[in-house]
Amino acid sequence: MKAKEIADIFGVPQSTLNEWKKEGHSKKILADFLTHVDKESILNLYKSATAYDMLVSTVNASIGNEDKHLGANDIKKLLMGKTPEKPIEKYALDIIKTEALKEEIEDFAIHFKIPMKKVNKVLHHGY
């Protein structure tokens, strides 16, 4: 990829990328990888790696206490039909039902290979 494309996708300024490319720099391997990887491949990988993050962010943005934030695996278990045992788990499901975008839920389900039938059952009919 070109330096401008890398900057647009990852927010790494071209000057930083040029610095990374210098021999002996600790991020030279990363810079070499980014400049030689196919743009389409990296976009697909990047989208796949971050798609599910949106649902996790939506849930946790509504939970003030960071110690009670749920991880992706916690949310996955809930959407797979695990009965919520803690109030925070019930609250997370309510947030998903009322605040999450359809795309966020679908991307999460695709990433974790959760059948949408199961997700819809949990969200519309309970656990």
Same domain assignment for residues 117 and 74: yes
Q: Which tokens in the block code for residue 81?
A: 């039909």
Per-residue pLDDT, averaged over 72-85, amounts to 94
Cβ 60 vs Cβ 69: under 8 Å: yes
pTM of the model: 0.60
Same domain assignment for residues 16 and 61: no
The whole-angstrom separation of Cα 53 and Cα 5 is 23
Query: Residue 24: is its pLDDT beyond 80?
Result: yes
Query: Residue 14: which domain range?
Result: 3-37
Query: Residue 50: is its pLDDT beyond 70?
Result: no
Same domain assignment for residues 54 and 105: yes
Amino acid at site 89: E
Specify if 44 maps to a domain: no
User: For residue 102, which of 122, 114, 120 has the smallest C-alpha distance?
Assistant: 120
pLDDT in the model for residue 51:
63
Per-residue pLDDT, averaged over 32-38, amounts to 91
